[in-house]
């Protein structure tokens, strides 16, 4: 098996490193400095500083080299760049290749999930060959050899099993699913909830508040996911709850940190300037609300986060706003 990984951010690089020693793996990086750093020093200094990458990992700046005769393509670019990147790559993607999206976001303007963008662009591909890998997988912890578990979803469960066996290792456990929609909505929406969790952290709130935010956040992303065709129980799993918990709790979570900095009074521009990497939740918030509007689902936490990001609501008001809603039955609005 030959694998091409498109995108050499922290997560693309980590996934490529997980399999490079076992099977031929080619990592495509947009940035020449990443190619040089990986090729010359076996390290991705810009995005994954401090970790030695496997010698077997091949890196390139050329899409045709990365995609030549591959069986599996892992797409690991920021969600708002995915369409452009995969459009450029399209003539080079082998027709029978299995495509795995690991980008977590919703496309602004179209409200499309990442696998939908891939289907639209890769018109010659069977839709059931396009799936997603999603779960609580903070790249630096996995590079450090810490145990983690994630979910691989394809409409065709047999493809999920192939990718499962490819990535499964002693410290990296992969579960299969056939709920692509559920996994993708979980992965995208959690980045927005994480900003709210970061705000709570920045204001000094403790674990009750955090747990309530995560739980109510899960309820809202489940409502949305179910309205879009996902299965409720997917949201109990690694790509829903698991990823949400890790992203809302880890000191390394970029989205959580954005919320924390906002709560401490920094502006969004300031925060963006200070960080190299993308906090997907910033762009996902408006895209998610657009998408929720099309199916008539109310997302109170995401709406509040979006208002904070726009500067319409002060971070100080986030928790009180969410606490003062009218009394409700817990699972109201969920299609049980």
Active site residues: 190
Size of the site for its own copies (CB under 8 A): 64
Nearer to its own copies, 6 or 166 (CB): 166
With binding defined as CB under 8 A, does residue 314 bind its own copies? no
CA distance 179 to 198: 29
Please, what's the b/e burial string for 6-18 (b: 16 or more CB within 10 A of its CB; e: otherwise)? bbbbbbbbbbbbb
Determine the distance from the C-alpha atom of residue 126 to the mean position of all C-alpha atoms in its chain, rounded to a whole number: 23
Side-chain-side CA neighbours of residue 333 (13 Å):
18
SS3 state at 67: helix
Nearer to its own copies, 222 or 304 (CB): 222
Please check whether residue 33 is in contact with residue 59, taking contact to mean a CB–CB distance below 8 angstroms.
no
For the packed helices 280-295 and 300-310, what is the interaxial angle rounded to 10 degrees? 130
Q: Which of 72, 73, 82, 142 binds its own copies (CB under 8 A)?
A: 142
Please check whether residue 129 is in contact with residue 99, taking contact to mean a CB–CB distance below 8 angstroms.
yes
- For residue 327, what is the DSSP state? P
Site string for its own copies, 206-245 (x = CB under 8 A): xxxxxxx-xxx-xx--x--------xxxxxxxx--xxx-x
CA distance 131 to 331: 29
| Least separation in angstroms between CB 112 and its own copies | 25
Binders of its own copies in range 245-274 (CB under 8 A): 245-246, 249-250, 252
| Least separation in angstroms between CB 178 and its own copies | 9
Nearer to its own copies, 107 or 260 (CB): 260
Could you list the residues that contact its own copies (CB under 8 A)? 135-138, 141-142, 144, 146-149, 151, 157, 164-165, 168, 170-171, 173-177, 205-212, 214-216, 218-219, 222, 231-238, 241-243, 245-246, 249-250, 252, 319-320, 323-324, 327-331, 334, 336
């Amino acid at each position: 098996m030959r694998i091409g990984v498109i995108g050499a951010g922290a997560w693309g690089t980590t996934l490529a490193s997980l399999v490079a020693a076992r099977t031929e793996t080619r990592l495509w990086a947009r940035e020449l400095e990443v190619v040089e750093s990986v090729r010359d020093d076996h390290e991705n200094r810009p995005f994954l500083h401090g970790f030695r990458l496997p010698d077997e990992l091949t890196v390139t700046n050329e899409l045709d080299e990365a995609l030549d005769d591959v069986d599996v393509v892992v797409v690991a670019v920021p969600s708002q760049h995915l369409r452009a990147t995969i459009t450029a790559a399209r003539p080079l993607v082998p027709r029978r290749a299995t495509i795995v999206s690991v980008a977590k976001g919703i496309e602004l303007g179209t409200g499309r999930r990442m696998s939908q963008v891939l289907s639209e662009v890769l018109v010659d591909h069977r839709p059931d060959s396009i799936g997603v890998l999603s779960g609580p997988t903070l790249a630096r912890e996995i590079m450090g050899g810490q145990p983690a578990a994630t979910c691989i979803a394809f409409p065709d469960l047999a493809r999920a099993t192939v990718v499962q066996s490819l990535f499964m290792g002693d410290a990296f456990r992969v579960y299969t699913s056939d709920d692509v929609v559920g996994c993708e909505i979980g992965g995208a929406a959690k980045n927005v909830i994480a900003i709210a969790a970061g705000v709570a952290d920045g204001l000094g709130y403790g674990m009750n508040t955090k747990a309530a935010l995560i739980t109510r956040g899960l309820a809202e992303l489940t409502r949305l996911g179910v309205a879009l065709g996902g299965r409720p129980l997917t949201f109990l799993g690694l790509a829903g709850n698991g990823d949400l918990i890790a992203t809302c709790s880890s000191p390394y979570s970029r989205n959580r940190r954005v919320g924390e900095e906002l709560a401490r009074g920094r502006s969004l521009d300031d925060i963006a300037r200070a960080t190299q990497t993308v906090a997907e939740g910033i762009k996902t918030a408006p895209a998610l609300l657009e998408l929720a509007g099309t199916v008539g689902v109310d997302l109170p936490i995401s709406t509040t986060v979006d208002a904070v990001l726009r500067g319409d609501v002060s971070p100080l008001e986030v928790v009180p706003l969410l606490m003062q809603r009218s009394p409700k039955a817990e699972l109201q609005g969920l299609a049980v």
